[in-house]
C-alpha cells in the first residue's frame, strides 16, 4: 500500500532531550516536507527536500534539523526541544513537489515537550 | 514571502445546503492552489486543485474558482452531506523562486448538520 509513515505517533518528552521523528515513504517520491499544525495557525512548513541531499527552510525552521540521505526517509530532528515545540507534526511527500503535484500526508506525530 | 488568508474559520450548514470557503494570497507569482480536507485524527488529503492558467475546476459536488487579478480563490461544496464535516485548508505555491515552499491557510472547520 502506498503510504507515508511516521514514528512515533505520540511522544512526551522533557525540555532539552534530543529526539528524532522518522518519516518514510514507499512511493519513490522525490519531494518530502515537514509541517507543524497548531490550533488556529493551520499548517506551517518547517523544512522541505526537493531530492536526496537537497533541503531548504520553510517558514518556521528554527529549532529543527532535517537530513535526506536516501530518497525514502526524511527524519526531523529536535536537538534541544522546548515547550513551544509542542505541536502536531506532519510529514508529506510528493512525486515532484508543489506546485507540480499533490502532497500525500502521513498520519501525524503528536509531540508534547514538558 | 507568501501569505494566505482563509475565511471563515468556522462554518456550519444544514445538510443539502452549499458551503463556500475563501482564500486570498499575496504573492502574484503563486500559480498552484490546492485544497486539502483533514478528518479528525488524520493527515490532510487533497480534494481538488487549480493552476493559474485555469479559472474554474469542478469535480462532482466540489468546485474551485480562481481570480488571479484579485488574488483570491474559493472552494464550493454543493449538496453538503454529514461526511463533508472536516477541516479544510487552502494552500499556495509557485514554480519559480522558492519552488517547493508551500503556504497554507489557517483552516476552516466545516460542520454539516443532518
To the nearest 10°, the Cα dihedral for B55, B10, B34, B98?
110
Provide the pLDDT for residue B54.
82
**Direct distance between the N- and C-terminal alpha carbons of chain B, in angstroms, rounded to an integer:** 41
CA-CA distance, A43 to B108, in Å (whole number)? 12
What are the helix and strand counts (H, E) for chain B? 0, 11
Give the rounded percent of residues in chain B with a pLDDT score beyond 90.
Answer: 82
What's the gap in Å between the CA of A102 and the closest CA on chain B? 7
Nearest chain A CA: its distance from B95 CA (Å): 6
Residue B18 has a pLDDT of: 98
CB contact under 8 A, B100 and A105: no
What is the DSSP-derived secondary structure letter of residue A98?
Answer: T
Binary contact (B91, A107; C-beta < 8 A): no
What's the pLDDT at B25? 97
Residue B85 and residue B95 in contact, taking contact as beta carbons nearer than 8 Å:
no
Place of cell 482564500: B23
Specify the pLDDT at position A45. Answer: 95
Q: A26: which 3 cell numbers?
A: 514507499
**Average pLDDT value for chain B:** 94
Cα(B88)–Cα(B46) distance, rounded to whole angstroms?
10
Residue linked to cell 445546503 = B17
Return all residues near A63 (Cβ < 8 A) that are at least 6 apart.
Answer: A78, A79, A80, A81, A82, A85
- For range B90-101, the mean pLDDT: 82
Q: Do A97 and B32 touch (CB under 8 A)?
A: no
Walk along chain A (114 residues) and give the pLDDT tens digit of each residue: 889 999 999 999 999 999 999 999 999 999 999 999 998 889 999 999 999 999 999 999 999 999 999 999 999 999 999 999 999 999 999 998 766 778 999 999 999 999
In this prediction, residue A99 carries a pLDDT of 66
* C-alpha cell belonging to residue B45: 488529503
Please tell me whether the peptide bond between B8 and the residue prior to it is cis, using omega within 30 degrees of 0.
Answer: yes
Report the alpha-carbon angle B33-B36-B42, nearest 5: 155
Question: What DSSP designation does B95 have?
Answer: S
**C-alpha cell of residue A10:** 505520540
Q: Of B16-20, B29-33, B34-38, where does mean pLDDT reach its minimum?
A: B29-33
Instruction: Supply the pLDDT for residue B94.
Output: 85
Span B81-110, average pLDDT: 91
| pLDDT (0 to 100) of residue A97 | 72
Q: Does A42 touch chain B (CB under 8 A)?
A: yes
What's the pLDDT tens digit per position in B40-93? 999 999 999 999 888 999 999 999 999 999 999 999 999 999 999 999 999 998
Amino acid at each position: 500500500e502506498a503510504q507515508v509513515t511516521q514514528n512515533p505517533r505520540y511522544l512526551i518528552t522533557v525540555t532539552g532531550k534530543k529526539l528524532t521523528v522518522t518519516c518514510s515513504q514507499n512511493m519513490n517520491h522525490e519531494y518530502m516536507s515537514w509541517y507543524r499544525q497548531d490550533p488556529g495557525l493551520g499548517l506551517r512548513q518547517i523544512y522541505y527536500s526537493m531530492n536526496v541531499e537537497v533541503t531548504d527552510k520553510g517558514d518556521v525552521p528554527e529549532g529543527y534539523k532535517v537530513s535526506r540521505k536516501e530518497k525514502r526517509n526524511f527524519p526531523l530532528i529536535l536537538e534541544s526541544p522546548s515547550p513551544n515545540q509542542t505541536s502536531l507534526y506532519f510529514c508529506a511527500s510528493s512525486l515532484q513537489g508543489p506546485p507540480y503535484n499533490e502532497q500525500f500526508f502521513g498520519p501525524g506525530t503528536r509531540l508534547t515537550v514538558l | 514571502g507568501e501569505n494566505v488568508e482563509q475565511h471563515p474559520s468556522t462554518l456550519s450548514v444544514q445538510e443539502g445546503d452549499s458551503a463556500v470557503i475563501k482564500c486570498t494570497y499575496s504573492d502574484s507569482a503563486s500559480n498552484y492552489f490546492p485544497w486539502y480536507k483533514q478528518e479528525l485524527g488524520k493527515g490532510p488529503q487533497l480534494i481538488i486543485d487549480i493552476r493559474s492558467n485555469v479559472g474554474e475546476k469542478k469535480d462532482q459536488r466540489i468546485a474551485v474558482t480562481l481570480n488571479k487579478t484579485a488574488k483570491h480563490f474559493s472552494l464550493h461544496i454543493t449538496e453538503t452531506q454529514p461526511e463533508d464535516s472536516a477541516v479544510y485548508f487552502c494552500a499556495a505555491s509557485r514554480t519559480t523562486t522558492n519552488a517547493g515552499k508551500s503556504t497554507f491557510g489557517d483552516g476552516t472547520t466545516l460542520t454539516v448538520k443532518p
